[in-house]
């Protein structure tokens, strides 16, 4: 099982990979409901990822070249108390792998990343 930062993959990602990722997102919330909308989402995907602010980190989890799920870590700087707060959001799984084991793996990975990014608090 591997985790990848989506921004690191953006220049290597194929249309098929984008479609796989969008299908994972579609399991949680309707991202598209017709072919025209799907084409629009695919065409705008790379630009959307490239221009994400630096405090938003989207990771995908892959196993045997299959996208299993993803999660987002948002880093909030608390300048009054001088520390970072990590917000774990948008945990999504491919419906074929929707079980507690993979949910725990994604959350555990994001918690570890938050620690590496000097977060003293983590909000799930």
pLDDT in tens, 58-109: 999 998 888 899 999 999 998 787 889 999 999 999 888 877 889 999 999 9
- The owner of tokens 């909308």 is 37
* 72 in Cβ contact with 90 (< 8 Å): yes
- Largest distance between two CA atoms of the chain: 48
Residue from 80, 63, 62, 59 nearest 71 by CA: 59
Domain housing 86: 2-123
CATH number (domain holding residue 96): 3.40.630.30
Q: Is 28 or 36 the better-scoring residue by pLDDT?
A: 36
Q: Is 41 or 104 the better-scoring residue by pLDDT?
A: 104
- The owner of tokens 């249309």 is 15
In the predicted model, what is the mean pLDDT of the chain?
87
Count of the separate structural domains present in the chain: 1
């Amino acid at each position: 099982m591997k985790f990848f930062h989506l921004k690191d993959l953006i220049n290597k990602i194929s249309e098929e990979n984008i479609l796989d990722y969008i299908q994972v997102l579609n399991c949680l919330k309707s991202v598209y409901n017709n072919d025209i909308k799907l084409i629009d989402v695919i065409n705008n995907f790379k630009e959307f990822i490239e221009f994400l602010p630096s405090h938003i980190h989207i990771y995908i989890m892959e196993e045997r070249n299959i996208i299993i799920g993803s999660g987002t870590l948002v880093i909030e700087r608390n300048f009054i108390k001088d520390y970072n707060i990590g917000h774990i959001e948008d945990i999504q799984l491919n419906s074929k792998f929707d079980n507690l084991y993979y949910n725990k793996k994604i959350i555990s990975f994001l918690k570890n990343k938050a620690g590496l990014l000097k977060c003293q608090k983590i909000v799930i």
